[in-house]
Structure 1
Amino acid sequence: MRQQLQFLGLDKNPFTCSCDLMWFRNWFVSRPTLFSHKRSPGLIYKCNNLHGTNLADFMMTDQACLLSQSVNMAIILVTSAMIVTLTTVSLVLRFRWHIRLALYEVFRGRGDVRRVRLLADHFEYDVFVSYSKEDLPWVQERLIPELEGRLGLRLCVHERDFIPGNNIVDNIVECVQSSKKILMVFSKDFVHSQWCQFELTFCLTHVMDYDDTLLIVCVDDVTSRDMTPAMMAVLKTTTYIQWGDHSDAVDSFWGRLRLALHEVTDMAVVVDRDVAVDIAEAAV
């Protein structure tokens, strides 16, 4: 059908010179009289996308076109895969503690398993307290008098109970494993302490391994932009207790904390009762 054409005027079309147009370019060069009318012998066909280039002068080899298409497809596929992978990795890293805590809540065991462990294992401390050094005055003046003085619990406090000369990491690991519960004192200073962040990460892993929960108290207002991903995950999945300076808030704080420590205090009552029974039986 092409051979029957006498004249084909396409000079006013915006030609995009690329591999897709090579068939037409080759046809144009092979039959120049077909595209040039005797009344307008000077018709010029130009590449609209290549300034100053005539269609007849445009040239690309078949190998170049084949390579270009395959390479472009490969680049698109590889780039898309990399974007998806990097996005997925970034989201997993950013929300890794949210994911771990969510999975933990789904697959966690029953509370009686934790209770059996509390009864069976030997613990040196009732509560391990994680806090920044700037919050030590609050721990010494508020927390210790209430939990040790009134409730009779044994707290593990860094400055008092860590063994001098031992590696700090070893002290943290041993004390956490020797404590029935873990209490974390969140604050603005806690956010910026590298040791506190290490303790938080280790303690999260510890409570997940032993089907336990963290006790969280906030002694000041910590904004979300200052928190680490682990802290945000904990606060979003755990009911924390907020400290307040006025009397009603203080009473509510200690009441809620005593309620949160009921497992430890109940164990202490059971142990004391058992000791009393043993003493009575020995006396008889």
Structure 2
Amino acid sequence: MSFLLYINTMSLVLLTLMGALFYHFLRWQVVYAYYLFLAYLQDSKLRNRQTAYSYDAFVSYNFHDEPWVLEKLLPELEDHQGRRLCLHHRDFQPGKPIVENIADAIYGSRKTICVISRRYLESEWCSREIQVASFRLFDEQKDVLILVFLEEIPAQMLSPYHSLRRILKRRSYLSWPRAREHTEIFWQKLRVALDSTDGPADQNHVLNI
């Protein structure tokens, strides 16, 4: 009896330890797999019925970069260009799981604008957003992703981010620091990127300034 109790206790302890290790090391892999599953469902749904997009672009950004988004990007695109953007704090549906909100936002928008900074690269949620956007890009093979760098980031800092490096090998991007006083060129190129048709994803538009 004591031996059976010992075995049961040890089994429970081992299961608890294994569960804790699984949660600690693999929880983001599980979340990522869930993201891809939602993306697959969204992609299949849109293939089966031609639904009009709700937004011109979903803006993926870290909350530390929100001042630039609200003070620069939003006035230019919504007020001056008449675009309709999807933003986390304003347009996500309350009560819906965030992973579903993100998938709905990416697949419910014609484009996804990723506002890249060092803070963005450090954020787990931003990483998931660009991964789902990348999944859509490579799956649909359409020009649906726009990269905007808010700061110069050395190549060695990008080396751990495989999805982003893969995208940069095939696509151009916009750089806010390089725009400097010629911001009108920056906004013009962003306008062209937003207006581009859903052509092949590997059609590399000249965005760098």
- TM-score bin (small chain): 0.5 to 0.7
1:226 alignment counterpart:
157
Q: Tell me which of the two structures has the higher relative contact order, counting C-alpha pairs closer than 8 angstroms and 6 or more residues apart.
A: 2
- Structure 1 unaligned runs (5+)? 1-116, 265-284
When Rg is computed on C-alpha atoms for both structures, the one with the higher figure is 1
1:156 alignment counterpart:
86
1:252 alignment counterpart:
185
Q: What amino acid is aligned across from residue 143 of structure 1 in structure 2? A: L
Q: What amino acid is aligned across from residue 255 of structure 1 in structure 2? A: Q
Q: What amino acid is aligned across from residue 146 of structure 2 in structure 1? A: L
CA distance in 2, matches of 1:146, 1:231: 26
Alignment of 1:97-246 (within 5 A): 120-213=50-143, 214-227=145-158, 228-244=161-177, 246=180
CA distance in 2, matches of 1:169, 1:126: 20
CA distance in 1, matches of 2:64, 2:101: 20
Pairwise CA distance, 1:226: 2.1
CA distance in 2, matches of 1:185, 1:208: 19
CA distance in 1, matches of 2:131, 2:180: 32
Q: What amino acid is aligned across from residue 180 of structure 2 in structure 1? A: H
Pairwise CA distance, 1:212: 1.6
Q: Per-residue displacement from partner, 1:72-99 (whole Å, max 9, x unpaired)? A: xxxxxxxxxxxxxxxxxxxxxxxxxxxx
Pairwise CA distance, 1:234: 1.6
Q: What amino acid is aligned across from residue 247 of structure 1 in structure 2? A: E
CA distance in 2, matches of 1:207, 1:235: 13
Instruction: Count residues in correspondence.
Output: 145
Alignment of 1:9-158 (within 5 A): 120-158=50-88
Q: Secondary structure at the match of 1:247?
A: coil
Q: Secondary structure at the match of 1:215?
A: strand
Pairwise CA distance, 1:209: 2.2
Q: Per-residue displacement from partner, 1:119-147 (whole Å, max 9, x unpaired)? A: x5311111011111111111000111011
- Structure 2 unaligned runs (5+)? 1-46, 198-209
